[in-house]
Structure 1
């Protein structure tokens, strides 16, 4: 029973974190690669066009993948990279809390990373890979 609760909690966490990243990604998608790159250039992010494409892909495509539980470790790493980049490039000077602070960005980045490596059994990763691993271990002879 406890394992089911863990799986549901991981699913709820993935949905919540994924929806927030998706909302931010759709804002950047609507601004376009050029608009996002201009914003990145204004705050001093190197290779702003490459960074814009990467961030939009992670925040839109990655968020959808995260919500359904597909390639969650990879997406979690992407969320961490984007969040830590945003922390240092945009939010650090504002401090941890308050207007423009980095507390939310940091928590989202690290929650994404943690959930990426602990996505639970209610994820496509488990259906596609986890069950196969479980059946492979069950089929191994006992020494």
Structure 2
């Protein structure tokens, strides 16, 4: 029973993180690549147009994949890079808390990493990749893998 609760909790965590990224991605999508690139250029992000396309695709399509549990480590690393860029270029100067602080980007980036490398059994990654591996490993050795 604990495994089922853990898997549901991991799914809910992925949904929560993905919803926030998706909402911010839609804001950038609505503004357009050019407006997002202009904002990125203004805050000093290198290759602003490339970064804008990367972030919009990651935050919109990556969020759908994150909820489904598909390519979780890849999406999680993308989210962490996205949040590291936001922290360094925009939020660090405002401190941890308060107006414009970096607490949200810090938590989002780290939570995405934690969930991306432990997505649980309610994920496409588990169905497509891990279930086959678990079938080949004897039950007693599964704990150490």
Identify the TM-score tier after normalising by the shorter chain.
over 0.9
| Matches of 1:112 and 1:123, distance apart in 2 | 14
Structure 2 counterpart of 1:125: 125
Instruction: Provide the aligned length of Structure 1 versus Structure 2.
Output: 138
Runs of 4+ in 1 over 4 A off after TM superposition: none
- Counterpart CA distance in 1 for 2:63 and 2:109 is 12
The alignment's TM-score, normalised by the length of structure 2, stands at 0.93
Aligned to 2:59: 59
Residue deviations 1:3-38, cap 9 Å, x none? 111101100000000000000001001111111000
For normalisation by structure 1, the TM-score amounts to 0.94
The alignment yields a C-alpha RMSD, in angstroms, of 0.7
In structure 1, stretches of 5+ residues that fail to align are: 139-143
Residue 77 of structure 2 corresponds to 77
Aligned to 1:9: 9
Match of 1:36 in 2: 36
Compute the displacement of 1:136 (Å): 2.2
2: CA distance, partners of 1:38 / 1:136: 51
The equivalent residue for 1:96 is: 96
1:69-125 Cα shifts (integer Å, max 9, x gaps):
000010000010000110000101110000000000110011001100010000011
Q: What CA deviation, in whole Å up to 9, does each residue of 1:30-77 have, x standing for no partner?
A: 111111000000111111001101111111111110011000010000
Provide the rounded CA distance (Å) in 1 between the counterparts of 2:53 and 2:46: 13
Which consecutive unaligned segments of at least 5 residues does structure 2 have?
Answer: 139-145
